[in-house]
Structure 1
Amino acid sequence: MNVIGIVGWKNCGKTTLVSAVIRELSSRGLTVSSIKHAHHAVDVDQPGTDSYRHRDAGAREVILAGGQRIAIMQELRGDAEPTLDELLARLTPCDWVIVEGFKTHSHPKIEVHRQDCGRAPLFREDPSIIAVATDYAADYPGPKYGLDDVAGIADFIVSQTKP
């Protein structure tokens, strides 16, 4: 599996770009998975549902299965948050994994940075950033793309494919 990250500060457009890149790569016939890091308590299950009741009763892992999709919910119950490498190992093999977040991990990343972001670009301190998507003429020395150049960014990502 090939892995590329999309990182940046909050509200700079990461999710918008990730969604567009996934759509573009998928339209090219590539299989794409994603991992989204959340810095807050997140719960995809809702109180009152059967699966929520299973977890609330103490189940460490609950699989919710239907005709269109499955969801696997795992309760850490005090264990450490899994690392990116541990999460990647859980995925079904695919062509590309797009990772949103995990900005301190050393995987190759594209930074999303807007001029009005109010924070310094990450690329100045992070050597694992290999391209930048921005709305201004950033002083990044490597590949730069406009935020709406989804095809160009997808071309760049595909060019990073490992044999």
Structure 2
Amino acid sequence: MKIYGVVGYKNAGKTGLMERLVTEISGRGLRVSTIKHAHHSFDVDQPDKDSYRHRKAGAQQVLLASKSRWALMTELRVQPEPPLADLLAQLAPVDLVLIEGYKRGDHPKVEAYRAAAGNPLIAPDDPTVRAVAADMPLTIDRQLFDLDDTKAIADFILTEVRL
């Protein structure tokens, strides 16, 4: 599987860019999956639902299935967060996996940047950031895209991964 990341600080436009890229790339007939890294605890399960109760009771994994989808939840308890490579190995084969976050990973990335967020650029100190998608003109030694030019960013990523 080919992988490509979207990184940036909070409020940089990562999630919106990811959503647009998934729509654009899957619209071209390619199969796309995503991984989203969270820096906080999260819960995809709802209190008082059966699967939540199974997990809270101590189940290591809970697989929830219906005719529409299935989801596998794994509790880490005291285990460390798994490396990205281990998570990628859990995915079914697709043409491209887009990864939101994992800015310290060694995979290629495009950085989302919004000036109003007031954060520094990641790209100058990270050679794995191959391009920047910004909402303003920047002087940088990487490919620069308008943050809203989804087609051009998708073209760049697909060329980079040879798809």
TM-score normalised by L of structure 2: 0.97
Amino acid corresponding to residue 153 of structure 1 in structure 2 = I
Aligned equivalent of 1:104:
104
Aligned equivalent of 2:33:
33
Aligned equivalent of 2:57:
57
Does structure 1 residue 120 correspond to structure 2 residue 129? no
Amino acid corresponding to residue 112 of structure 1 in structure 2 = A
The runs of at least 4 aligned residues of structure 1 exceeding 6 Å deviation read: none
Q: Distance in 2 between matches of 1:140 and 1:117?
A: 18
Residue 162 of structure 1, CA deviation = 4.4
Q: Distance in 1 between matches of 2:124 and 2:141?
A: 10
**Structure 1, unpaired ranges of 5+:** none
**Structure 2, unpaired ranges of 5+:** none
Residue 117 of structure 1, CA deviation = 2.0
Aligned equivalent of 2:21:
21
Aligned equivalent of 1:66:
66
Residue 161 of structure 1, CA deviation = 2.1
Structure 2 residue matching 1:90: 3-state secondary structure: coil
RMSD between superposed Cα atoms in Å: 1.0
Identity %, equivalent residues: 48
TM-score normalised by L of structure 1: 0.97
Q: How many residues are paired up?
A: 163
Residue 43 of structure 1, CA deviation = 0.6
